[in-house]
Amino acid sequence: MLSKSSYLIFIISGVIGISFWIGFNVNLLPTEASINAPIYDELFKILFIIGLILFIGMSLLVVYSLIKFRKRKGQIGDGIALEGNLKLEIIWTVIPSIIVLLVGLYSYNIYDRMGGMNELNHDHSAMGNNSEKIWAGISQSNNNLSLIDTNIEVSAMQFAFLFNYPKGDFISGELHVPVNKEISVKMESKDVIHAFWIPEFRIKQDIIPGQPTVLNFTPTKVGKYPIICAELCGPYHGGMRASIIVEEQSDYENWFNQNKKDELKA
Partner 1 sequence: MTILIDKKNQVTEKIQPKGFLRYFSFSLDHKVIGIQYLVCGFLFYLVGGTLASAIRIELTSPMSDFMPRDVYNQVLTLHGTIMIFLWIVPVVNGAFGNYLIPFYVGARDMAFPRLNAVAFWLIPPSGLMLITSYFIDGAAQAGWTAYPPLSITTPQSGQIVWILSVLLLGGSSIFGGINFIATILKLRRPGLKLMQLPMYCWAMLGTSILVVLSTPVLAGTLILLSFDIVANTGFFNPVLGGNVVVYQHLFWFYSHPAVYIMVLPAFGLVSEILPIHCRKPLFGYKTMVFSIMGIVVLGLVVWAHHMFTSGTPPWMRLFFTIATAFIAVPTGIKFFNWVATMWGGKISINSAMLFSCGFIINFVFGGITGVALAQVPFDIHVHDTYFVVAHFHYIVYGGSVFVIFSSIYHWFPKVTGKLLDEKLGILHFALTFIGFNLCFAPQHWLGLNGMPRRVAEYDPQFQFVNQISSLGALFMAISTIPFLINIFLSVKNGKKAGDNPWKALTPEWLTSSPPPVENWKGEAPLVTEPYGYGSDNY
The interface with partner 1 within residues 62-81 (CB under 8 A) comprises: 62-63, 65-66, 69-71, 75, 77-81
Taking the complex as a whole, the smallest distance from the CB of residue 11 to partner 1 amounts, in Å, to 15
Q: β-strand 241-247 against 223-228: which pairing, if any?
A: antiparallel
Longest dimension (CA), the chain: 95
Near partner 1 by CB under 8 A: residue from 22, 126, 171, 232: 232
Taking CB under 8 A as the binding criterion, the range among 12-20, 56-64, 245-253, 256-264 that sits at the site for partner 1 is 56-64
Of the two residues 117 and 126, which places its CB atom closer to partner 1 in the complex? 117
- Check: CB of residue 160 under 8 Å from CB of residue 196: no
Distance between CA atoms of residues 90 and 4, nearest Å: 23
The single-letter DSSP state of residue 200 is: G
d(CA 244, CA 257): 18
In the complex, the smallest distance separating the C-beta of residue 255 from partner 1, rounded to whole angstroms, is 25
Q: Which one among 234, 254, 257, 264 touches partner 1, defined by CB under 8 A? A: 234
Binding residue for partner 1 (CB under 8 A) from 107, 129, 146, 258?
Answer: 107
Our finding on whether 103 is near partner 1 (CB under 8 A) is yes
Q: How far is CA 9 from CA 5, 14, 73, 89, in A?
A: 6, 8, 32, 21
Q: Which of 17, 51, 173, 223 binds partner 1 (CB under 8 A)?
A: 51
Nearest approach in angstroms of CB 34 to partner 1 is: 11
Q: DSSP labels for 99-121? A: HHHHHHHHHHHHHHHTTTTSPP-
Nearer to partner 1, 110 or 148 (CB): 110
The C-alpha atoms of residue 222 and residue 245 are separated, in whole angstroms, by: 8
Alpha-carbon span 241 to 232, nearest angstrom: 13
Spatial separation of the C-alpha atoms in residues 238 and 103, rounded to whole Å: 34
> Of 203, 254, 208, which Cα lies nearest the Cα of 233?
208
- Find the shortest distance in angstroms from Cβ 137 to partner 1: 9
39 touching partner 1, by CB under 8 A: yes
- Closest CA relative to residue 200, chosen from 235, 266, 244: 244
Between 39 and 177, CB nearer to partner 1: 39
In the chain the first and final C-alpha atoms are separated, in Å, by 86
**One symbol per residue from 166 to 185: x for binding partner 1 (CB under 8 A), - otherwise; what is it?**
--------------------
Q: How far is the CB of 147 from partner 1 (least distance, A)?
A: 31
Question: Closest approach of Cβ 188 to partner 1, in Å?
Answer: 10
| 203 lines the binding site for partner 1 (CB under 8 A) | yes
Nearest approach in angstroms of CB 149 to partner 1 is 25
Of 84 and 128, CB closest to partner 1: 84
